[in-house]
Structure 1
Amino acid sequence: MPFTDFTVWKSLASIVDIVLVWYVIYKLINVIKGTKAVQLLKGILVILLVRVVSDFFGLQTLSWMMDQVITYGFLAIIIIFQPELRRALEQLGRGRFFSRSNNPDDDDQEKALEAIIKATDYMAKRRIGALISIERETGMSDYIETGIPLNSSLSSELLINIFIPNTPLHDGAVIIQKNSVAAAACYLPLSESPFISKELGTRHRAALGISEVTDSVTVVVSEETGNISLTKNGELHRDLKLDELKELLTSELLVHNKPKQASSARWNWRGKNNG
């Protein structure tokens, strides 16, 4: 009996150990999800795969190089993932690391969508320049930190008030994160594409630039013409009507309208493809 009890206890301990490790890994994945660290993790997996393949085929030089990368990779990971590690430690200190994370429901997303469309319509009619970037899978924390943090509930009135000319926050971009206004007056990277029309200004170049490095969706209102544009995946869609903008944002941003394979975030629409 004592031996049997010991065996049962050891088996239970192993199960608990596995469950705890799985849970910690799951929470770590949630922490880095939606950040650039995901792409870096893919790169690490590629390095490990190359190491296994080179060892299998007896490629000694390549195998040695991969060994060096893996040996000194731990220090590199600490440096590269510093923002994500800091965020994880902050969440751990606040007691949020082990809390359940729920996706925003459709009602919140619909309200956020209506607020963006209403504000865009108001500013377009009055030729108030605006730049609104909506975070998706790729995190935009680096760009949020360049602006003034707001962490405010999203409303059309707030968006309009931010972009009123000659106010402290009007110059720059508003970044929307999880259906809330994360920050205003943010700096976005400017696109260096030689194919951009000369008539387009800094707002459009910034909208294109952020779409080239993230999967965000960015809405632009021209201060000169009041025209509405949208950027995604390095593409600029100009002179959109309000109903076109609403249809596109609805099909992409509302959860219940996304197809099951929506992880690829493909758009199917009849908008204009002007660059």
Structure 2
Amino acid sequence: MEQRITQFLTKYVKGWYFPEMRITDVVEIIIITFLVYQIVVWIKNTKAWMLLKGITVLSIFILLAFIFQMHTILWLAENAVTVMATAAVVVFQPELRRALEKLGEKKFLTSVVPFDMNRESVRFGDETIEGIVSASFSMGKVKTGALIVVEQAIKLTEYESTGIKLDCIVSKQVLINIFEHNTPLHDGAIIVRGDRIVSATCYLPLSDNMGLSKDLGTRHRAAVGMSEVSDALIVVVSEETGQVSVAQGGQLTRGVDKEELWKRLEHIQNKKADSAGILTRWKGRLMNEKKSDK
């Protein structure tokens, strides 16, 4: 049996090159595959997808020029590489910025080392959840449009400054009064930080996701856009249908009921509480170590 295997290998496999594979090589291939897949998925959900198609067509054209030895075209392509690279950075600037923002949201290092030890996590109470849920569905019944941004770990100071600064407790009555038609503050979004409304009439970035339904208006696209550049939860009340929707992590869930909205808000409330508990325990351990050193 061994002799047959040896003969087969000598006859058919002789001269073949088999690189030595280590565990690290397999892990490296998996990581690169995952990164390439994520980049392609990210590009496909933005307007960069159409630009990528154009670049692909141009690359095929240059390849044909190389095959048929069209020297003038190859010379132009060779000398235009630097210019094209600079142009790509300029054209893809919004997408590159968004990609870096999404990378910053992962917080790989802060999960191990708490860099934000001096900043307490702001937790909102059940009264805030009750106010947002009740107001959203009350406005939905009379088809009053609303856009409520519930801030989490990422501070929304940049977008807060685009509106009118407020400092009031979140309640059903306040929210309904803000978004009432023909009132000074009804246009735009409000930002909720903890139990307080910190700004109204805020401008939010619109999503470039081409997979979104064409039926969605500016309010819903702004909600998805905000969820793409931050970890906030955005509640949207449609002025046309009265439906209540939720945007988070670049995904829009349309037509949620009261129980679903309550669960979504309660989930981020508990997440903030957990992060605050970890921070408190970390600080307590540091204090105990200092006392023991003394």
Q: TM-score scaled to structure 1, two decimals?
A: 0.56
1:120 to 2:136 alignment: yes
TM-score by length of structure 2 reads: 0.52
Aligned length: 170
* 1:9 alignment counterpart: none
In the other structure, the counterpart of 1:206 is 222
| Contact 2:227 2:248 survives alignment (8 Å) | yes
- Checking the alignment, whether the CA contact within 8 Å between 1:251 and 1:258 is kept in structure 2 is no
Write the distance in 2 (CA, Å) between the matches of 1:194 and 1:246. Answer: 29
* Bigger Rg over Cα: 2
In the alignment, is the contact (CA less than 8 A) between 1:124 and 1:227 conserved in 2?
Answer: yes
Q: Structure 2, unaligned stretches of length 5 or more? A: 1-100, 110-117, 280-294
Q: Which residues in structure 2 correspond to 1:56-75 (within 5 Å)? A: none
Is the alpha carbon distance of 1:111 and 1:189 closer, same or farther for their aligned partners in structure 2, counting shifts above 3 Å? same
2:187 is matched with which residue: 154, 164, 171? 171
Q: 1:134 aligned to 2:134?
A: no
Q: Which residue of 1 aligns with 2:176?
A: 160
CA distance 1:211–1:261, shift in 2 (3 Å):
farther
Alpha-carbon distance between aligned partners in 2 of 1:252 and 1:118, rounded to the nearest angstrom = 18
- Where does residue 242 of structure 1 map in the other structure? 258
Structure 1 residues 246 and 262: CA distance shift in structure 2, 3 A:
farther
How far, CA to CA, are the matches of 2:147 and 2:127 in structure 1?
A: 19
Name the CA distance, whole Å, in 1 between partners of 2:194 and 2:260.
Answer: 23
Measured on the aligned residues, the alpha-carbon RMSD in Å equals 3.2
The CA deviation at 1:192 is 1.0
Cα–Cα, structure 1 residues 252 and 167, in superposed 2: closer, same or farther, change >3 Å? same
- How far does residue 161 in structure 1 lie from its aligned partner after superposition? 0.3
Identity %: 41
Shift of 1:259: 9.2
* Higher RCO, 1 vs 2 (CA within 8 Å, ≥6 residues apart): 2
**Which whole-Å CA distance do the structure 1 matches of 2:142 and 2:228 have between them?**
29
Question: Which of 182, 196, 208 is matched with 2:212 structurally?
Answer: 196
Counterpart contact for 2:120–2:276, Cα < 8 Å:
no
Listed one character per residue, the Cα deviations across residues 215-274 of structure 1 (whole Å, up to 9, x for unaligned) are 0000000000000100001001011111111122212224598699999xxxxxxxxxxx
Cα 1:261/1:227, change in 2 over 3 Å = farther
